[in-house]
A = this chain, B = another copy of it.
Amino acid sequence: LKGLKGNAIVGQSGGPTAAINASLAGVVGAAKKSEVIDTIYGMVNGIVGVLNDNIINLSEIMKTDEDVDILKHTPSSYLRSCRYKLPKAEDAPEVYKTIFERFAQYDIKYFFYIGGNDSMDSVMKISNYASKIGYEINVIGVPKTVDNDLLITDHTPGFGSAARYIAASISELMGDCDVYDIDSVNIVEIMGRNAGWMTAASALARRGELDAPQLIYLPEVAFDTAKFIEDLKRVKALKKNVIVAVSEGCRTKDGAYICEGLSDGPVDSFGHKKLSGAARALEVIVKDNFPGVRTRVIEFSLLQRCAMHFASKTDLDESERIGQAGVRAAEDGQTGMMMIYVRQPGEYKISIDSYDINKIANGEKTIPNEWITDNGTNVSQEFLDYARPLIEGQPELHFKDGLPLYKRLP
């Protein structure tokens, strides 16, 4: 529906990233310049904000270009998030009734949702429902996830910043772990439930032979304790201080998370098991099998997804562009689409396109088998060539009193 005149609304959903506000800044900046969009609203706590009428006027709040640029350089979800999974329309007609009444109330003709797989599922449902009832609205999904696990798009906004933080931190830990002349195994746990992209990014830290991480364990490869012990023996023969990078999502060939014995295992509202303790599980194995070796567990925790202070400029710039491109696609009448990155051949260059969201939502992209090497403990040069351009550049943060200045919801 090209040239629809009215208002727009934007929301963020799923786990925060360093770049999700850059996409929001892209949407807000482009909407403010749009000739068909009047006001750009923000839903607070994702689609829950629409249901609860917790809606703010971003056209008013983000008055200047500087406001938008500070927003771009603010980590986590400015509009906050939700873990609410939109039910099927046939199962919960009252939910859709409320949403579309709210759209009518605010004269919403454009709906932008920035999020991961679960968010794209919501976009798909809203778009399909609008078609069914004949409500005129253009619905666009803007991807984000540190996990880099969305189909079709070359990579996901947010991944580059997470990868940069992880690689830099590993390179710093490398120096720290080497200072004492003792035998040590340092186990770094990295996010990623089913896809090992973030854990693999630790390999970007290496500059020389035997540099950390000496071993990498990905969820794509079934974990085997006996093999881990053999791997570690081999590496420890070459180097006293070892750094192991392990994904929180590592599983045995039976599909059991390696931390399952250790975790109290709560389940979130999407039915995903909350993971913690893969590194602790490996530590137990090392303690049992390498007596006298000092062990240490390091968890990058939330910082790996929200450390704007060492985000990737490339990631932030692309994330802003994909938000802007989402607005342009909607203005052009596209709906039910997710924006995607397309990598051009030759020197690194990304163009932005859109893609049928039905073919993306609920799928998952893991690391290709051929990029996993050394009997499942390493990643190939192809992975490094793929990931390296994504971590380029230090963003120009706004500083005040020695610290980055971030926008906070009023």
Query: Can you list, as one digit per residue, whether each of A252-295 has a CB less than 8 Å from chain B (1) or not (0)?
Result: 00000000000000000000000000000000000000000000
Q: Which among A48, A75, A309, A393 has the highest number of chain B CB atoms within 10 Å?
A: A309
For A77, what are the chain B residues with a Cβ–Cβ distance below 8 Å? 175, 179
**Please, how many angstroms separate the alpha-carbon atoms of A325 and B83 in the complex?**
56
**Please, how many angstroms separate the alpha-carbon atoms of A54 and B312 in the complex?**
40
> Among B48, B74, B176, B312, which residue has its beta carbon within 8 angstroms of that of A402?
B312
The answer to whether the Cβ of A404 comes within 8 Å of any Cβ in the partner chain is yes
Determine the residue in chain B with the shortest Cβ distance to A313: B402
The answer to whether the Cβ of A306 comes within 8 Å of any Cβ in the partner chain is yes
> Among B76, B80, B204, B298, which residue has its beta carbon within 8 angstroms of that of A181?
B80
Smallest CB–CB gap between A84 and chain B, Å?
A: 10
Smallest CB–CB gap between A72 and chain B, Å?
A: 14
- A363-399 CB contacts (< 8 Å) to partner B: 388-389, 391-394, 399
Smallest CB–CB gap between A327 and chain B, Å?
A: 23
For A82, what are the chain B residues with a Cβ–Cβ distance below 8 Å? 180-181
Given contacts A48-B181, A403-B171, A406-B171, contact A76 B176 (CB under 8 A): yes
Contact (Cβ within 8 A) B403 A391:
yes
Contact (Cβ within 8 A) B181 A403:
no
Smallest CB–CB gap between A91 and chain B, Å?
A: 23
For A108, what are the chain B residues with a Cβ–Cβ distance below 8 Å? none
For A388, what are the chain B residues with a Cβ–Cβ distance below 8 Å? 401-402
> Among B173, B178, B208, B400, which residue has its beta carbon within 8 angstroms of that of A303?
B173
For A298, what are the chain B residues with a Cβ–Cβ distance below 8 Å? 299, 301-303
Among A32-40, A129-137, A161-169, the one that faces the other chain is A161-169
Smallest CB–CB gap between A263 and chain B, Å?
A: 13
Smallest CB–CB gap between A32 and chain B, Å?
A: 23
**Please, how many angstroms separate the alpha-carbon atoms of A82 and B178 in the complex?**
11
Contact (Cβ within 8 A) A83 B180:
yes
For A393, what are the chain B residues with a Cβ–Cβ distance below 8 Å? 402
Contact (Cβ within 8 A) A75 B172:
yes
Given contacts A399-B394, A402-B391, A403-B204, contact A80 B306 (CB under 8 A): no
Contact (Cβ within 8 A) A16 B175:
yes
Determine the residue in chain B with the shortest Cβ distance to A389: B402
Contact (Cβ within 8 A) A172 B303:
yes
Contact (Cβ within 8 A) B310 A309:
yes
Contact (Cβ within 8 A) A167 B403:
yes
Contact (Cβ within 8 A) A176 B305:
yes
- A29-75 CB contacts (< 8 Å) to partner B: 45, 48, 74-75
Smallest CB–CB gap between A209 and chain B, Å?
A: 12
Contact (Cβ within 8 A) A76 B175:
yes
The answer to whether the Cβ of A85 comes within 8 Å of any Cβ in the partner chain is no
The answer to whether the Cβ of A205 comes within 8 Å of any Cβ in the partner chain is yes
For A296, what are the chain B residues with a Cβ–Cβ distance below 8 Å? 301-302
**Please, how many angstroms separate the alpha-carbon atoms of A82 and B181 in the complex?**
7
Query: Can you list, as one digit per residue, whether each of A162-202 has a CB less than 8 Å from chain B (1) or not (0)?
Result: 00100111011101111111000000000000000000000
Give A residues with C-beta under 8 Å from B: 15-16, 45, 48, 74-78, 80-83, 164, 167-169, 171-173, 175-181, 204-205, 207-208, 296, 298-299, 301-303, 305-310, 312, 388-389, 391-394, 399-404, 406, 408
List 29 A-B pairs, Cβ < 8 Å. A16-B176, A45-B180, A45-B181, A75-B172, A75-B176, A76-B175, A81-B180, A82-B180, A83-B180, A167-B403, A169-B309, A172-B302, A172-B303, A172-B306, A172-B307, A172-B308, A172-B406, A173-B302, A173-B303, A176-B305, A204-B403, A207-B400, A296-B301, A298-B302, A312-B402, A388-B401, A389-B402, A391-B403, A393-B402
Closest 6 CB pairs of A and B: A76-B175, A391-B402, A81-B179, A392-B402, A176-B306, A76-B176
